[in-house]
Structure 1
Amino acid sequence: MVAHFSDDSALDIAETVFTRMARLLDLRIRSDADAIRVVGKGVSVHTYKRVAGKLHFPANLVAPESTVRRRLLEGRFSEAESERILRIARVFAEAVELFGDEDKALAWFTTASDYLDEGTPITPMALAATDNGARLIESRIMRTAHGMF
């Protein structure tokens, strides 16, 4: 699905990102308000397993491995963990919009590169797990989309 630009171009892009997030997470997400409600309630095990499987999450991406195992038994992730899950899904949805293809976006999302000045390669997915990292990757996505490499 390609965004159609009009006077409300930001809304058109946001709707596309929310649609992609909803499909990835198997949740009803049409707005930031819906995302906030999901985070407040906590992401379910079903949703976590779906997105973690699709994006090939490292075991400790959302929380320490032991915490993830516990959440899988308890049935829900905490608000902070749920926020990370939705943030990662959002950044991936933006990458899909950029690449126009989920497989290409996933290959990019899971390939380490030198995004930080310290020289240690890191994946866009790992960066997306934090707020500052997500902003860095989203900035790269936007610059690339507008031809500003």
Structure 2
Amino acid sequence: MSQHLTDPSIGALRLLGGATILHVGPGSPLEWVASIRQGFPIQVLDSLAANIQATPAELAQLLGISVHTVAQRRRLGSLTSQQSERLLRLARVLARAEEVFDDLSNAFHWLTSPLIVLRGETPASLLDTEVGGELVMDTLGRIEHGIFA
């Protein structure tokens, strides 16, 4: 795994609206686990959408859920633990990609573009599993070090 300047959880926390919304510290994995298990408050979706300038449909697609499901979760006030975990994985990857590409817009574009190294898959499409998330993070590390330049 590559050495990077910041823990991706710090950037993820910023993208998701900060500690006041999530009630977690960036360097506190047990607080993240508790927050995921409880289900993130729906405000994290609004924060991420604003930060990456994504439409509700784009955000739903990134999370692998329907717009209807997002509306349902909005009425309930929180995401499920599975949706929260996937959202954190997405936010961590975005934060890391922002660090690699020096720009959040470029990071979002990379995340949603098919890559030859991923056999034509988009990095975002792999974030439904932890293994896929690790592969995407590894790919970012390789890009940072010029291996896929």
TM-score range, shorter chain: 0.7 to 0.9
Report the aligned-residue RMSD: 2.3
Tell me the CA shift for residue 21 of structure 1. 1.1
Give the 3 Å change call, closer, same or farther, for CA 18–107 of structure 1 in structure 2. Answer: same
The number of residues matched between the two structures is 136
1:25 maps to amino acid: L
- Amino-acid identity (%): 29
- Does 1:27 pair with 2:18? yes
Unpaired segments ≥5 residues, structure 1: 1-8
TM-score, normalised to structure 1, is 0.77
Q: In structure 2, how many angstroms separate the alpha carbons of the residues matched to 1:58 and 1:26? A: 15
Unpaired segments ≥5 residues, structure 2: 20-24
The match for 2:94 is: 92
1:83 maps to amino acid: E
Tell me the CA shift for residue 34 of structure 1. 3.1
Give the 3 Å change call, closer, same or farther, for CA 69–90 of structure 1 in structure 2. Answer: same
Give the 3 Å change call, closer, same or farther, for CA 108–11 of structure 1 in structure 2. Answer: closer
Using CA pairs under 8 Å that are at least 6 residues apart, name the structure with larger relative contact order, 1 or 2. 2
Give the 3 Å change call, closer, same or farther, for CA 144–61 of structure 1 in structure 2. Answer: closer
The match for 2:129 is: 130
User: Any conservation in 1 of the 2:40–2:78 contact (CA below 8 Å)?
Assistant: yes
Q: In structure 2, how many angstroms separate the alpha carbons of the residues matched to 1:10 and 1:80? A: 28
Give the 3 Å change call, closer, same or farther, for CA 63–146 of structure 1 in structure 2. Answer: closer
Please list the CA deviations of residues 72-111 of structure 1 after superposition, one character each: whole Å capped at 9, or x if unmatched. 1111111011000000000111111111221221221222
1:26 maps to amino acid: G
Aligned match of 1:18 in 9, 16, 21? 9
User: Any conservation in 2 of the 1:41–1:79 contact (CA below 8 Å)?
Assistant: yes
- Does 1:110 pair with 2:112? yes
The match for 1:79 is: 81
The match for 2:39 is: 42
TM-score, normalised to structure 2, is 0.77
Runs of 4 or more consecutive aligned structure 1 residues displaced over 3 Å after TM superposition: 9-12, 52-55, 114-117
Q: In structure 1, how many angstroms separate the alpha carbons of the residues matched to 2:146 and 2:49? A: 31
User: Any conservation in 1 of the 2:64–2:128 contact (CA below 8 Å)?
Assistant: no
